Every structure is written in C-alpha cells, then in structure tokens.
Amino acid sequence: MHEHNKQTVIEFYQRVFAERDLSAADELICEDYKQHNNVFIPPTRDGFKGYFQQYFKMFPKSGTQIEKVCAEGDHVFLYATHWAANKLFKVNYKVIDIYRVENGVLLEHWDTIEGIGLFSRFMYMIKPLLRL
C-alpha cells in the first residue's frame, strides 16, 4: 500500500507541476479535498485547479524536481524544488508536501514552502498582496 500511495503522489506531482496538466486533479484529487495550508490555495479541488490555472498563466515557464518521497500508512511525504518564471523574474523555492492518500486519490494536503535566495524569499512574503 505504501508503494501505491507513493506512486499516486509522484504521478500527481509529475503531471501537475512538471507537465502542467490540471486534468490530473480531476483524476487524482477527491472532490472534497482538504487543503490545510490555504493561505494561497482555496481548500477544495476546484480551488486548487483555479489557483494553478492562474499560476500557470502568470508563470508560463515552471518546473519541479522531486528530491525525496517517503510513505507511512496513508501519508506520503515529498520534498521537491520548484522554479517558476515569467518575462520579469524567476522564483526558486523548496517544498515539503504531505498528502493523505486513499484508494489512489489525494484526500488531504499540508505543506511548507521556503524561497531559495533573497528575491524568492521576498516574493513569497509579498505573494498574498499580489494575489498570485
């Protein structure tokens, strides 16, 4: 079960954050998905999709590199680096995501995000003001 949960999260991450395929959310996130850190992302599947539709428009180039994935019970812990760029600037950040997975879909999510470098840290701090 641990391995299946890990593969579900890896597939989700690859499709959404590397390939920018938001249709993966409909397949891999349950309808009543709970986003616990909802400072930026509304706490539902539709909120997730709406946020990242805007994010991908604002940052036409973005990517991720998964560094480590571990699982215990129905929880998957993932550490990754991300970057996003537009014509004006590029931001780099590290993320630790925790997902609760059941029957091949994501039920809940927690995270912590840290900007890499002074500019990325500054942009992350003012992000709520910019409505990104």
Confidence band for 95, pLDDT divided at 50, 70 and 90: very high
List the domain range (segments joined by +) for residue 70: 2-130
Number of folded domains in the chain?
Answer: 1
> Poorest-confidence range of 106-110, 113-117, 124-128?
124-128
Q: What is the Cα–Cα distance from 4 to 39, expressed in whole angstroms? A: 29
Q: To which H or E segment does residue 107 belong?
A: strand 105-115
Question: For the domain that residue 40 is a member of, what is the CATH number?
Answer: 3.10.450.50
Q: What is the per-residue pLDDT across 53-67, written as a single tens digit (0 to 9) for each?
A: 999 999 999 999 999
Q: What is the per-residue pLDDT across 14-50, written as a single tens digit (0 to 9) for each?
A: 999 999 999 999 999 999 999 887 667 778 899 999 9
